[in-house]
Chain A
Amino acid sequence: MSNVSGAILVIAEHDNAALKPATLNAVTAAAKIANSLGGDIHLLVAGQGAEAVADAASKVAGVSKVLLADDAAYAHALPENLAPLVVGLAKSYGHVLAAATSEGKNLLPRVAALLDVAAISDITGVVSADTFERPIYAGNAIATVQSSDAIKVITVRTTAFEAAATGGSAAVESVAGTGDAGSAKFVGQELTKSERPELTQAKIVVSGGRGMQSGENFKLLEALADKLGAAVGASRAAVDAGFVPNDYQVGQTGKIVAPELYIAVGISGAIQHLAGMKDSEVIVAINKDEEAPIFQVADYGLVADLFKAVPELTSAV
């Protein structure tokens, strides 16, 4: 398999109306690879009626071309339909990247297997065009891995790369779709609605754990979050107990966040939770158990009953 150029293809994530910010982090990772290769960066927008997305994509700094594949088969990012499209295009590229979101993780390994190449998940660093850093064991070790495959298929941990700026003016080129594989059907979605910033994009995150005791008590955290302009997150225990929806979960198997400020309330600090937040700039922990492991990563630890401390904090900020 020969790749005709050192160009890099980044898969844009979107909802057919707007480009998702995670794409911008993936573009920055692509730019780091391009720096060592001198290659171009192209963005693929596959969707239905996604012209506005292609338009936004063309303005991302560093992107030289936008490929727009408009087809009803791509309306819901079903990997059964998208993978053949990406595989067809990938043969002209040296690298295929996407953000390590639920969508990117769903699609890229499927693409890699069809190309008979390894997939490199969740990179946090670019060492060179073929060598990358990625966390293993819930972030308790960092592996440096080298690929000898002709095409490198990579998902990018968004918190490890800045968002690319806007200011570009790439041309948009239409590409033909590959149709509906007919094996999977989108039935529906139940998206969590919130006025607050998105968890992975927020500058401040306030998270609650089992110590919150109920969904009702999360109102205490929401009041604090609203005052700080923060997003609300949770530990797995809080999600499993049904206090908040599953997409609030921060951790090894939930969302990875790295805000300027992370406030952990009633969370013990299991390694699986730390895996999702320990790269935050400033960490605050509020816990009544002074031995709780969360204090080992907290810049500021407050040993206190959360039901007293959180309302106090809310009125003090």
Chain B
Amino acid sequence: MKILVPVKRVVDYNVKIRVKADGSGVETANVKMSMNPFDEIAVEEAVRCKEAGKATEVIVVTVGPAASQEALRTALAMGADRGILVQTDAETQPLAVAKVLKALVDKEGLNRNGSGLVILGKQAIDDDCNQTGQMLAALLGWPQGTFASKVVPGEGAVTVTREIDGGLETVELKLPAVVTADLRLNEPRYASLPNIMKAKKKPIDTLTPDALGVDVAPRLKTLKVAEPAKRKAGVKVADVAALVDKLKNDARAI
């Protein structure tokens, strides 16, 4: 079974982002970028499947500008076998990414012996869309196991435990299938120095959306990006009695 893992390069989760003064977007120049944290979890899961003998190859793919290769190199250092960069400078919206991924699934023959798996992150922490995996599953006509906290591949099917609002849900999906990784699926490994060196020799293919026959033009137009409303500064209270007094008499919250 081949596993395809789409990874996105995003502003590092520790960076306090700044909205551009002209309201056109968020400042990304000279900002630390990393692989989307959920995608690290997806890569880890795929690599573990391979290590457990349940997968034959782990292919990582990113859709974005040339610099997104960094995310691929990180994934290769974690143990993925090879990378694909689908290069575009366009803003990549989930529907477009899903179409690119569908084209790659077809090209790589993930469906060939009816057992492929695509593991994505559940959400990119820049656009916070939480859409791409579900859209890809729709386009492929495959079942989807979103927000996964446990993934157990078996013969012709995969059992996925999902984090839902009320607790946990378990579903059994026929392979091929799409899974999206939640935070508690695993703890991604740190790439060791030797593996980082080895990753430099692993192959990365470069393609374009055009070559795959996919139109990636955005469907949603961003009219403006603004700072959220700021909370007014609060006060420190000296002790519990003062807190209770404030809550009862000023805020009338209890």
Contacts and interface: CB of A to CB of B under 8 A. Distances in A.
Interface string A179-192: 00111111111111
B30 interface: no
A271 B219 contact: no
Interface in B21-35: 26
A168 interface: no
B72 interface: no
Contacts of A281: 253
Interface of B: 11, 13, 16-17, 19, 26, 93-95, 98, 122-123, 125-139, 141-144, 146-147, 149, 159, 162-174, 177, 182-184, 219-228, 231, 234-237, 239-241, 243-244, 246-247, 251, 253-254
A106 interface: yes
Contacts of B143: 80, 181, 183-184
Contact of A141 (B174, B227, B235, B237): B227
A141 B228 contact: yes
A189 B168 contact: yes
B40 to A, nearest CB: 14
B220 A144 contact: no
Given A101-B165, A140-B17, A78 B247 contact: no
Contacts of B132: 109
B125 A109 contact: no
Given A113-B98, A192-B167, A245-B167, A184 B126 contact: no
A18 interface: no
Contacts of A247: 163-167
- A interface secondary structure, majority: mixed
Q: Which among A120, A192, A284 has the highest number of chain B CB atoms within 10 Å?
A: A284
B6 to A, nearest CB: 14
A72 interface: no
Contacts of A312: 240
14 contacts: A103-B164, A106-B147, A109-B94, A109-B135, A113-B138, A113-B139, A140-B19, A141-B226, A186-B169, A188-B170, A190-B167, A253-B122, A300-B247, A316-B241
Q: Which among A131, A239, A246 has the highest number of chain B CB atoms within 10 Å?
A: A246
A200 B144 CA distance: 26
Given A105-B130, A118-B219, A189 B135 contact: no
Given A109-B94, A184-B174, A302 B224 contact: no
A165 interface: no
Contacts of B133: 109
Contact of B173 (A146, A183, A278): A183
Contacts of B227: 140-142
A297 B234 CA distance: 7
Interface size class on chain A is 35 or more
- B interface secondary structure, majority: mixed
Interface of A: 76, 78-80, 83, 101-103, 105-114, 116-122, 131, 135-149, 181-192, 200, 204, 228, 236, 239-240, 245-247, 252-253, 255, 260-261, 271-272, 278, 281-284, 290, 295, 297-304, 309, 312-313, 316-317
Contacts of A304: 239-240
Nearest to A114: B138
Contacts of A109: 94, 129-135, 138
A190 to B, nearest CB: 4
Contact of A253 (B129, B167, B183, B240): B183
Contacts of B149: 246
Contacts of B170: 186-189
A284 B171 CA distance: 39
Given A144-B224, A187-B172, A137 B17 contact: yes
Q: Which among B126, B131, B159 has the highest number of chain A CB atoms within 10 Å?
A: B131
A305 to B, nearest CB: 11
Contacts of A136: 26, 126-128, 225
